[in-house]
Structure 1
Amino acid sequence: MLVLLPPSETKAPGGDGPPLDLPALTAPELTPVRTELAGVLVALAGDVPASRAALGLSPRQDDEIARNATLLTAGTLPALQRYTGVLYDALDVSSLTRAQRARADRRLAVGSALFGLVGAADRIPAYRLSAGSALPGLPTLRSLWKPALGPVLAGTGGLVVDLRSGSYAALAPVPGAVTVTVLSERADGTRSVVSHFNKAHKGRLARLLATTTAEPDDVVRLRRLLRRAGLHVEHDGGDALVLVVPAD
């Protein structure tokens, strides 16, 4: 089972690992695209106004540009420690046992605008690049990633649970992947799409999938696993699941 997570805009600072080694990352066949994007980001960081425009940043976020400038020389952290925010708080990898962390490292991966796919234990620096960014002199990130990343994801084998947000899933869709929509249900039975707490629910779901000793290999067995864990999960056929949570 492979669980694809979205990245976060926010990243933990620092890192005590060696500088970025692109060929050492998961799926080394993506190295050419990674190398091209990293080189453009580093060069772009020398032009602060152009970086702001390309990355959608304000002057108060110039520290993000400074991070990009040192992309190839900065210290690194494992991806699950680098990404921060609501989803990763709910995932809470720091509280996992050694055995659980080993399973998480095998099963979790992060979709990335810069790296395409990042394994949970891959060491990466802090950076700023979003799926919707438009880098000068390059085609869209979707145009760059789909032909390279698409075959990698399609060839993973086994069950893929795609929890990426829409813009990251669009970089390279995964045929047959299970997707999850989170709906909140009010006391009167009406439902609405969860927005604010969507990431928290998906983070808890990712934690469950990362740590279970079960190995579901299709959507029906996955649904059964989630229901045994006490989750209200609906499946109307196909590859989509609906996670229903009480309205806050």
Structure 2
Amino acid sequence: MKTIILIPPSEGKADGGKNHPLQSVSSIAADLIEAIKEADPKKLYGLKEKALEKAITVNKELLSSKTMPAIERYTGVVYDAIDYQTLKNKSDFDKKVVIVSGLFGLVRPINLIPNYRLKIDKLKAAKLWVTSNSEQLKDKFVIDLLPQAHKKAVKYDNGIEVEFVLKKAGKKMPAGHQGKHIKGRFVRWLIEKNITDPKHFNDFNEEGYKWTGEIFLKEV
């Protein structure tokens, strides 16, 4: 059974691109692009002033702006920690890793995408994508590193959810921002070590996290 590693996109994205604009988009993406045009920008983006203006401009140019591979477009903490450019086996990463985008659905690292702005909890994007996304995950074993909002956009029969949790004074709490970095490191480790079976997760030992059989836990 083929293994797929699901990760979220990042809000942070590189500008520009050297590749041609999108030639076509799926019907779901097309519907979302139309919904973006009709939405109240302030409610849709939750931004102000220059950041709001940029988001509006970026989405207006969705179908005419240059593209770049998704793995280069996303620039957030998870992606910094993956450090794709220094991976020796990039082809393995490209085959196994799938990004769950609010606008484009399941995106491969090498898929060309423009800059865009759309959170998956806006315009009912997760609900619109869930059937299509889930169909593509049939007969796959899924290693799920998605935040809660993105989990609503996928369903799968075989897989495991991976959470990084802190334990302080006996109380457990989500790893938060720090959790994004360790998720990226974990994805890189999965690819470098060619790990596809959760029974090997206890071999991962970075930043004090230990696999309990259910979660990665760090005592602080």
1:85 maps to: 76
1:195 maps to: 176
1:107 to 96, 101, 105: 96
**TM superposition shift of 1:116:** 1.1
Is residue 125 of structure 1 aligned with residue 100 of structure 2?
no
- Give the fraction of aligned pairs with identical amino acids, expressed as a percent: 27
- For structure 2, the 5+ residue unaligned runs are none
Map 1:1-248 onto structure 2 (within 5 A): 1-22=3-24, 31-41=26-36, 43-44=37-38, 50-61=40-51, 62-97=53-88, 100-134=89-123, 140-153=124-137, 155=138, 157-185=139-167, 191-214=172-195, 216=196, 221-224=197-200, 226-230=201-205, 232-235=210-213, 241-247=214-220
C-alpha separation in 2, matches of 1:121 and 1:73: 19
Say whether the 8 Å CA contact 1:108–1:210 is kept in structure 2. Answer: no
Q: 1:192 to 1:124 in 2, by over 3 A?
A: same
Give the number of aligned pairs. 214
Following TM superposition, the consecutive aligned residue runs of length 4 or more in structure 1 with deviations greater than 4 angstroms are 188-191
Kindly report the root-mean-square deviation, in angstroms, between the aligned alpha carbons of the 2 structures.
Answer: 2.1
Say whether the 8 Å CA contact 1:34–1:114 is kept in structure 2. Answer: yes
C-alpha separation in 1, matches of 2:173 and 2:149: 21
C-alpha separation in 1, matches of 2:173 and 2:127: 33
- For structure 1, the 5+ residue unaligned runs are 24-30, 135-139, 236-240
**TM superposition shift of 1:161:** 0.6
Match for 2:99: what amino acid?
Answer: V
Say whether the 8 Å CA contact 2:45–2:55 is kept in structure 1. Answer: no
**TM superposition shift of 1:185:** 4.1
Q: 1:245 to 1:21 in 2, by over 3 A?
A: farther
Say whether the 8 Å CA contact 1:5–1:108 is kept in structure 2. Answer: yes
